[in-house]
Amino acid sequence: MISPHVCDPDGDDSSLGMLVAGGPRSATAPSEYAVLFESIREGYLLHYARPRVVNGADEDLALLAGDYLYARGLERLAALGDLEAVRELSDLISLVAQLHAANPDASGVEQGSGALWLASAIAVAAGPPSGHGDAKASLRRSEPGAPQVLWDGALAVAGGVGLTERLERAAEAIGFRAH
């Protein structure tokens, strides 16, 4: 049912997946990490934004495809035995759903969800920064400084493992701007 709606991503880059693939935690299977992270990202886009790969599906079919891609990405992580990353991405999926539910007109969601996507990518690639869980809890409570704390933590970890350029490229690709 979904195959007629699958298309080439039309020049959209996969910088989040490449960020994850470049980290020390994903060194044993970098291409698998890139694909699964991008699958989860596409699932998110099918739920809340403009998808890159699945276009023209009705709303119900798009939601089902998004759910499938969420589940498929987490399944691939579980098969790799990376339960820490499964927890991180499960948190990501539930927290972005909460952000969107609390802001149905999408006001203010982009900054928080963008920071969360980048921080989660770094956590999967290289491990979470100190205070990462607290920063996610602050975002869950809609505290205004939470996106910046998530970004600062991601930037610190990225700098320590040589991923700063990839992180900045990914931030630009998803439209995140640090304050």
pLDDT tens, residue by residue, 109-139: 888 999 999 999 999 999 999 999 999 999 9
The verdict on residue 97 lying in a domain is yes
Q: Are 175 and 49 in contact (CB under 8 A)?
A: no
- What is residue 57's predicted lDDT score, i.e. its pLDDT? 63
Spatial CB neighbours of 156, under 8 Å, sequence gap ≥ 6: 129
Q: Are 112 and 25 in contact (CB under 8 A)?
A: no
The verdict on residue 118 lying in a domain is yes
- Among 3-7, 20-24, 90-94, the minimum mean pLDDT is found in 3-7
Looking at the 3D structure of the chain, how many domains does it have? 1
The verdict on residue 179 lying in a domain is no
pLDDT in tens, 69-88: 899 999 999 999 999 999 99
- What is residue 13's predicted lDDT score, i.e. its pLDDT? 73
- What is residue 162's predicted lDDT score, i.e. its pLDDT? 98
The verdict on residue 142 lying in a domain is yes
DSSP 29: S
pLDDT in tens, 11-24: 567 899 999 999 99
- Concatenated DSSP letters of 124-152: HHH-PPTTHHHHHHHHHTT-TTHHHHHHH
The verdict on residue 111 lying in a domain is yes
Q: Higher pLDDT residue, 12 or 102?
A: 102
The verdict on residue 168 lying in a domain is yes
The verdict on residue 163 lying in a domain is yes
Mean pLDDT, range 21-42, rounded to an integer: 96
| Residues spanned by the domain of 84 | 3-174
pLDDT surpasses 60 at 160: yes
Alpha helices by DSSP H, the chain: 15-21, 30-48, 59-80, 83-102, 109-126, 132-140, 146-161, 164-174
- What is residue 10's predicted lDDT score, i.e. its pLDDT? 62
What torsion do the CA atoms of 22, 9, 43, 109 make, to the nearest 10 degrees? 80
The verdict on residue 156 lying in a domain is yes
